Amino acid sequence: MDRALALRMLGDTSGALASIDAALALDPYNFLALLSKGALVERAYGWKAAAAIYRNALALAPAEPDLPEGLRGPVQKARDTVARFGDTLAEHLRRSVEPLRARYAGEALARFDEGLEIFSGRAKPYPQQPLLLHYPRLPAIPFHDRADFPWLAELEAATPFIQEELAGALRDQGDQFSPYIAYPPGAPVNQWGELNHSRLWSTYFLWKDGVRQDEACRRCPRTAALLESLPIARQPGFAPTAMFSALEAKTRIPPHTGSANTRLIVHLPLILPGPAFFRVGAETRPWRIGEAWVFDDSIEHEAWNEADALRVILIFDVWNPLLSPAERDLITAMMTAKNDFQDRP
């Protein structure tokens, strides 16, 4: 690397590149060598050729606070080059496919558009990352097709009486809305520091981990009856979970993933005093009163309330419709057996 630096200062770019390649042969994951190679390749062959090398270097870069002052400029240049490459490539790809895409304008092309962004390097793929169970051969679909859940219209039509029962719960049992995040002392809270034991994000459970909350269901009888009539996931000790989820003004729920890709999550907005948004993977949607959706919470997701007042939605879980009845029974038995195993001495 010292030789490469000397040759570079003497203007011998090809010799410097040969020396850097020799260094990388000894240590292929040397961040400084990769960053130097990117600069040399850019000088010799242009910024497009350097972009892939810069991208590899950035994957190995130290965290920003740990970067030596002398490397901050070169690292930023590498970031700018990678971003420029992605932006320019994406624009070129869009122009190139536009005539063909226009022929299919009536079809659902959001997946292709996301694929183009990933292919150009401007976006990253979002795989399923469940915390408890990753069941194989289930596709990673951020928001599922409404056609797979014909009962959504019935749920949406019930919005007024669910809102009425929610208002009663807020009025009479507001103290029962408890913090959703509640780690014990000493546990690593990671991204949940601001929300841990905080009523900024609170919940009122109708079902919790498969257990019916009788008092809450008594106070919200029509909501409870409606949920009972829907194909909610039923797994003793695990599901269903159904709750009113309250997010205070100007509060954000950080990116996270759920427990299993065998179930999906339903949202029905009930109180929306202003702008509030939800992202699953690369897709962001605003909530709208009377519009429910079903999503895969094993894909990274986050929520934020930009309004000046409380936002509340109804949340509950349903089985992934791609599972057969036999699979549902077997998955439940398997997960129950794991709990039994852990409880034994």
pLDDT at 105 over 90: no
**pLDDT score, position 106:** 82
Q: Are residues 69 and 165 in the same domain?
A: no
**What is the dihedral angle through the alpha carbons of 290, 295, 299, 304, rounded to the nearest 10 degrees?**
10
Provide the 10 A C-beta neighbour count for residue 55. Answer: 18
98 and 174 belong to one structural domain: no
Same-domain check for residues 65 and 102: yes
72 within domain boundaries: yes
Q: Which pLDDT score, from 0 to 100, does residue 235 have?
A: 93
- For the cut 90, the answer to whether the pLDDT of residue 108 exceeds it is no
State whether 161 and 305 are in the same domain. yes
Question: Does residue 287 sit in the same domain as residue 196?
Answer: yes
48 and 178 inside one domain = no
56 and 94 in a single domain? The answer is yes
240 inside domain: yes
Residue 141 lies in a domain: no
pLDDT at 344: 83
Q: Are residues 192 and 324 in the same domain?
A: yes
Q: Is the residue at 135 inside a domain?
A: no
Average pLDDT of span 152-174:
97
Confidence tier at 342 by pLDDT (50, 70, 90):
confident
Whether 233 shows a pLDDT value over 90: the answer reads yes
Is 293 domain-assigned? yes
The owner of tokens 């106070």 is 219
Q: Do 97 and 245 lie in a common domain? A: no
pLDDT digits (tens, 9 = 90+) for 301-339: 999 999 999 999 999 999 999 999 999 999 999 999 998
Question: If you average pLDDT over residues 281-288, what whole number do you get?
Answer: 97
Residue 132 lies in a domain: no
How many domains is the chain built from? 2
Q: Does residue 336 lie in a domain region?
A: yes
**Between 179 and 107, where is the model more confident?**
179
Indicate the average pLDDT of the chain: 95
Is the model's pLDDT at 191 over the cut of 90? yes
Q: What is the pLDDT of residues 241-278, one digit of tens each?
A: 999 999 999 999 999 999 999 999 999 999 999 999 99
User: Would residue 134 count as lying in a domain?
Assistant: no
Q: Report whether 257 contacts 301 (CB < 8 A).
A: yes
Q: How far is CA 166 from the centre of its chain?
A: 28
Residues 313 and 203 in one domain: yes
CATH assignment at residue 65: 1.25.40.10
Helices (H), the chain: 2-9, 13-26, 31-45, 47-59, 69-103, 110-120, 152-157, 159-172, 214-219, 221-229, 325-343
- Structural domain that includes position 102: 1-125
Q: What are phi and psi of 128, to 5 degrees?
A: -70, 135
Closest CA to 261 of 130, 120, 149: 130
pLDDT at 343: 85
Q: What CATH number has the domain bearing residue 159?
A: 2.60.120.330
Residues 17 and 112 in one domain: yes
- Rounded to 10 deg, the angle between the 2-9 and 13-26 helix axes is 170
pLDDT of residue 242: 98
pLDDT band at 225 (very low <50, low <70, confident <90, very high): very high
Do 115 and 178 lie in one domain? The reply is no
User: How many whole angstroms separate alpha carbon 37 and alpha carbon 8?
Assistant: 11
User: pLDDT value at position 137?
Assistant: 96
